Each structure stands twice: as C-alpha cells, then as structure tokens.
Amino acid sequence: MHELMLAESVVRLVEDTARQAGAKRVTRVRLALGALAHVDPDALLYCCELVARDGVAAGAVYEVDRPAAEAWCANCLRIVVPAAAGASCPDCGGFELDIRAGEEMRVIDIAVA
C-alpha cells in the first residue's frame, strides 16, 4: 500500500520535529496533498493514525488541504486547471501542459502540547 509508506515518512518527520522542539505530544498535523498527487487522502490519514499509535503523535488529528491543480497550456498561453494527471487542456483540448501545482505533498504545520 503506497499510502502506508508515505504515512511512515510523514509520522517520522512529525515526531522528529516535535522531539527537536521539546514537545511531549503532537495534537494536530495539517498536510497539503495536491489534487494530482496520486494519493488517496482517506487512506493516507488512516495510515498516519495507524503508524503514529505508539509515538508522540498518537491521537493527533490529521487534516488534509487539497491544493488545486494548475498547468501552463502551451496552446492557450495561460494557466488552466486540468481535470486529472494526463488530462488534456479543458479549454483547447491540447496535451501540451506543464504542471505547475497540484502534485505536492508536504506537512504544512504541526500543533504540539
């Protein structure tokens, strides 16, 4: 399961950061998971909770922000919002798209106690 490996990395980063800050417990983690990131948000959140069950992030609330996809269309000469990875331009139907946003996955912030 792809999301389990990602969750292990997220929880490791969160717990390492919390320990470096001298925190005893992580209460909330907010993630950015782009619309084109090829990750199931529900599966990732479940896996994060599962992986964190014995550490300082046990019981933390995990939230996901979903940044929209953006791509530069070489035909339209402007930014468009593709429906999915590999999709054509929603305006001209062309496939000359340069993805600019929507593939990211990152930790936005961590709340600790």
Angle at 75 between CA 69 and CA 77, to 5 degrees: 70
pLDDT at site 34: 96
pLDDT at site 40: 95
Residue pair 73/45 in contact (Cβ under 8 Å)? The answer is: no
Candidates 32, 31, 40, 34; CA nearest to 101 is 34
Q: pLDDT below 50 — which residues of the chain?
A: none
| Burial status of residue 5 (CB atoms within 10 A of its CB: 0-12, 13-18, 19 or more) | exposed
Phi, psi of 67 (to 5 degrees): -60, 135
Domains of the chain: 2-68+102-112 (3.30.2320.50)
pLDDT at site 30: 98
CA atoms of 20 and 55, how far apart (whole Å): 14
* pLDDT tens per residue across span 87-104: 999 999 999 999 999 999
pLDDT at site 1: 60
Residue pair 26/56 in contact (Cβ under 8 Å)? The answer is: yes
